[in-house]
Amino acid sequence: MVWREGTVVSIPVGDGLFTLAQMLRSPYLCFFQVFRTGEDWTGVDLESAPVLFVRGVTRQFLRYAAITVRRDLAPASAVEVPDRWLQLGPGSQVVTAWRGTPQELPVMTLGEEGLRVIQKSAAGVATPLGPYLVGSDHAELDAYELDTLGVYPETIERLALCRAFGRNVDPDKDLICGRDLPPEYRSYFVAISS
């Protein structure tokens, strides 16, 4: 797939459900909170569609996600790549999700020392804006996205969860920050652990 800024694409997220995204500066996609069964996008106006999140994606994601270019939809004009992100701290860790339950699941993750807010230039230069944040009680955790690239099937699982919860959710961020994990997240962690 050739990357062109402003290109609108549909992405299957499972069970005949699709969502829309728009190519921004490579490799960033803007994912919209617009879901439909089938690919009838009649009446969809991306100018007024809520944004779920903006995230960079890998070529692997583009290759395997069964993306379809939608030439019948006009791109949103006001979406941009953010300049603030959450950077993973050094180190990795195994976190046991749902400890002591039948759903218990060990998950390998990065960010052992927490997350910190960075400002990232268009050239990719990252400037830290503070110390690493540990724990779940920081407003910045919900204000910014992780500065990681989305892969397949992880990004598809995340989109399906956003649809199920009716809002932007990020299981990785919640896991790293030690938040309570809803049982619906289990399929996400199983998919990324496979």
Domain assignments of the chain as residue spans, ordered by start:
8-69, 84-193
d(CA 96, CA 72): 45
Mean pLDDT of the chain: 95
Would you put residue 124 in left (φ > 0), alpha (ψ -120 to 50) or beta? left
Position 88 scores a pLDDT of 95
Which pLDDT does position 193 carry in this prediction?
81
**Do residues 1 and 62 touch, judged by C-beta distance below 8 A?**
yes
Per-residue confidence (pLDDT) for residue 192, from 0 to 100: 85
CA pair distance 160, 157, nearest whole angstrom:
5
- Strand bridging mode 149-150 / 51-57: parallel
pLDDT bucket at 27, cuts 50 / 70 / 90: very high
Q: What predicted TM-score, i.e. pTM, was given to this entire model? A: 0.95
**DSSP for 149-165?**
EE-TTHHHHHHHHHHHH
Judged by DSSP in three states, 142 sits in helix
What is the Cα–Cα distance from 152 to 65, expressed in whole angstroms? Answer: 7
157 has pLDDT over 90 = yes
